[in-house]
Amino acid sequence: MLMIAIIPSVDAAIIKLTMEGSMDIQITHPDSAIIDRTILISFLVENNGWEDKQDVIFVFSPDDVIIPIEDNEIQIDKISAGGSYGETIDFRILSDASPGSHFVNLEYSQVLLANNEEPQPPTHANIAIPILLKKQPKVTIHTMTPESLFTNAEFPFTVEIISEDIDINDVKLEIIPPKDIDFRGETVHTFSSIQQNVPISVTSRIITPSQEISTQYKVPFQVIVTYTDDVGQEKIDSKTVSLVMRPRTFMELTMDGGIWIGDFFIAPYVSLGTIIGIPAGAIISLAIRRKYYDKKPRRGKK
């Protein structure tokens, strides 16, 4: 008689089996594991019957990516009535494993001693241990920026980092702007720890050069995150964000609600009445002036 029960827990699952002669088997294994790491699978056999058992054997037939590091079997010469035996085996998950469901298959066998003397024919059972393989944990970097930049202005630059698989420690977030771009605020942020699936965000402000430009070009920003993972290894993830730097048009709306009209800036905290009170002639004058200077021929040097 063979009875199997799988009991999930927070970090592991337990497979329980009852074999002939009240031999109770308990296998504790991880629900999931990360590719290119080592996992532990524990085996406990308890003889709760009144007859001894001998030649108790576990033989592993793992798949191509989860393999035992040393021996591929457990051999127990004898377990007396009321006795037990336990052992933990290390398995290696190969680096080229594919994410998804995998199984460690094993064959169990035992010989019951009738009246503690006469060996009976061996009893066999095939057991499949399910393990979900996951990719190496990675920190995801999200950035929230304007679609484009123009000169002599400020723009928000927000970075959000999230670790979906594990808690991470000793986290360092660094923003590296181009040489001609300044930042208002810190470009390096540190966190002692970040919990799994808890996003952390920081916002700085880009300060663009004051000198006007005539053509657009791209400016790269690099975001680098260094951290220590759940097994004490230092990891680095990064992201490059390219923004377009373009000439400023006559009227521009900033992301924080400000308005550029020519060279005149209306701050976002200026009241609506103040904006309405700006003489229309001043705005028209700015437009005519810019148009005039754009068309005015430049004198060449003699």
Which residue's structure tokens are 């992201």?
Answer: 239
Contact 70, 84 (CB under 8 A): no
In CATH, which superfamily holds the domain spanning 139-248? Answer: Immunoglobulins (2.60.40.10)
H helix count then E strand count, the chain: 2, 24
Contact 178, 219 (CB under 8 A): yes
What kind of fold does domain 3-134 have according to CATH?
A: Immunoglobulin-like (2.60.40)
* Residue 194, number of CB atoms within 10 A of its CB: 22
Structure confidence by residue, pLDDT tens digits, 205-241:
888 888 888 899 999 999 999 999 988 889 999 999 9
Secondary structure of residue 21 in the 3-state scheme: coil
Q: 10-residue block means of pLDDT along the chain (302 residues)? A: 44 88 95 92 95 95 84 93 95 92 94 92 93 90 90 88 92 92 89 94 89 89 94 92 84 63 60 48 50 51 46
pTM score: 0.62
Q: What is the side-by-side strand order in the sheet with 259-261?
A: 251-253, 259-261, 264-266
Domain with CATH 2.60.40.10 in the chain: 3-134, 139-248
End-to-end CA distance of the chain: 108
What sign does the dihedral 259-260-266-271 (CA atoms) show? negative
Secondary structure of residue 12 in the 3-state scheme: strand
Structure confidence by residue, pLDDT tens digits, 53-87:
999 999 998 677 999 998 889 999 999 999 999 99
